Amino acid sequence: MSPEVPPPTRRALLRAGAGGLLGAAVGGCGFMPAKTPDDKDLAPVRARVDGDLVYFNWADYVDPSVFKGFEKEYGVKVIQSNFDSMEGMAAKLNAGNRYDIIFPSAKWAQRLARGGRLRRIDPTQLTHAEDVFGTYSYFADPWYDPGSAHTVPFTAYKTGIGWRRDRIGELSGSWKDLWNDRAAGKVFLLDDRDEVLGMGAVQLGLDVSTGDAGDLDRITDLLGTLRPRLRGFSSDSYNNLLNGNAVITQAWSGDMAAMLNQAEDPSVFGFQAPKEGTPINSDCYAIPWNAPHPGTAMLFIDYMLRPENVKKNIEYIGYPMPVAGSEKVYAALVEPFPECLVTEADLKADLFFRNGGRAAEDARDTAWTHVKAG
């Protein structure tokens, strides 16, 4: 099988350049495909080898030994590339790049599915689908993708604070700990618009997804008081804490659990889910409408759901996966960081980031620009 991925056509690139503007006209989805997907592009496909797997995800978000096993069993290659934000992922899709499998968070999955950019997934093609949807009823009909018609959940996580106990001692359990005087100059925030604005919002009792101008002013004022104490914005919280560039950082729960694997002495690290509230999220498997090898993508999803691979992945990536039978694996992994656990009640408490209208999303972009510029 040829690993070739056709490059985007010139026309696709030209059109993608206008994506930001024209995207608004197609239901505010923000995505402008090179051609309008038709029914055939969006119809479910059978799980079967139809080429190599063109894979697009965060770095270190699948155990490398699982890729090896997949390549060996099916005689295909996994051709990997990585993004480091959802905006970065979307930009590549808008530029016409084609992938077989992508991993959007809940609101981005909704945006892509609503915009007609995702192929539907037929769960009867997945031998392990019942282990997900039969046990984790939340995901049988999630708000971001009714009936999970286009997605299979991959992981779940909360956003909290990771820190070095050996450097700054114990914390108070609040987001205010990011302002801790002992940490000044060694504080990182995630390089993520929604997470940073959301962290301000929960402290002020506001909606994590607010696009209201008055709310956003209050949030940027609050974050402005943290700005001089920051060392930077980075979503690599795991390495920043390990190497000591950060003594405290906003962090996704799963990355903090994964860090425990690397730590010589795990007791020097801590993770807390602050009492004012923690944004919750879920990343999922999705197949873009223009995936060159959607059949192989289906096989890959099913392979990832095998119990032995779920275990390997959970232990490597540090994130819980909603697959029946894996609960004990995760509980054992996060014994030192019990606040990493994500329950069905956490999901239902619904501090998910939501898609706003065009004006709200623009207002959030502007607020984020101000926060980053200081």
User: Nearer to ligand N2P by C-beta: 61 or 337?
Assistant: 61
User: Nearer to ligand N2P by C-beta: 125 or 355?
Assistant: 355
Rounded Cα–Cα distance for residues 216 and 227 (Å): 16
State which residue has the least CB distance to ligand N2P: 58
Q: Assess contact for 188 and 240: CB atoms under 8 A.
A: yes
User: Of 228, 231, 255, whose CA–CA distance to 242 is shortest?
Assistant: 255
CB of 158 vs ligand N2P, minimal distance in Å:
11
Task: Pick the stretch among 53-61, 113-121, 204-212, 342-350 that binds ligand N2P (CB under 6 A).
Answer: 53-61
DSSP string, 43-91: S---S---S-EEEEE-TT-S-HHHHHHHHHHHT--EEEEE-SSHHHHHH
- Site track for ligand N2P across 243-262, x = CB under 6 A: ---------x--x-------
CB of 67 vs ligand N2P, minimal distance in Å:
16
**How close are the terminal C-alpha atoms of the chain, in Å?**
51
- Site track for ligand N2P across 91-110, x = CB under 6 A: --------------x-----
Residue with the two structure tokens 């962090």: 251
- Site track for ligand N2P across 283-322, x = CB under 6 A: x---------------------------------------
Q: What are phi and psi of 82, to 5 degrees?
A: -125, 155
Give the chain's count of helices (H) and strands (E).
Answer: 17, 9
CB of 188 vs ligand N2P, minimal distance in Å:
15
Q: Assess contact for 49 and 2: CB atoms under 8 A.
A: no
CB of 280 vs ligand N2P, minimal distance in Å:
11
CB of 56 vs ligand N2P, minimal distance in Å:
13
- Our finding on whether 55 is near ligand N2P (CB under 6 A) is no
Among 58, 99, 271, 368, binds ligand N2P (CB under 6 A): 58
Task: Pick the stretch among 5-13, 40-48, 57-65, 339-347 that binds ligand N2P (CB under 6 A).
Answer: 57-65
Task: Pick the stretch among 58-66, 90-98, 117-125, 299-307 that binds ligand N2P (CB under 6 A).
Answer: 58-66
DSSP 334: T
Q: Ramachandran region of residue 96, left (φ > 0), alpha (ψ -120 to 50) or beta?
A: left
- C-alpha 69 chain-centroid distance: 24
CB of 198 vs ligand N2P, minimal distance in Å:
13
Among 60, 71, 191, 346, binds ligand N2P (CB under 6 A): 60
CB of 144 vs ligand N2P, minimal distance in Å:
14
CB of 88 vs ligand N2P, minimal distance in Å:
12
DSSP H helices, 95-192, are: 106-114, 129-133, 165-168
Bridge partners of 281, per DSSP, are 157
Q: Assess contact for 109 and 145: CB atoms under 8 A.
A: yes
DSSP 305: T
* Residue ranges in contact with ligand N2P by CB under 6 A: 58, 60-61, 105, 252, 255, 283
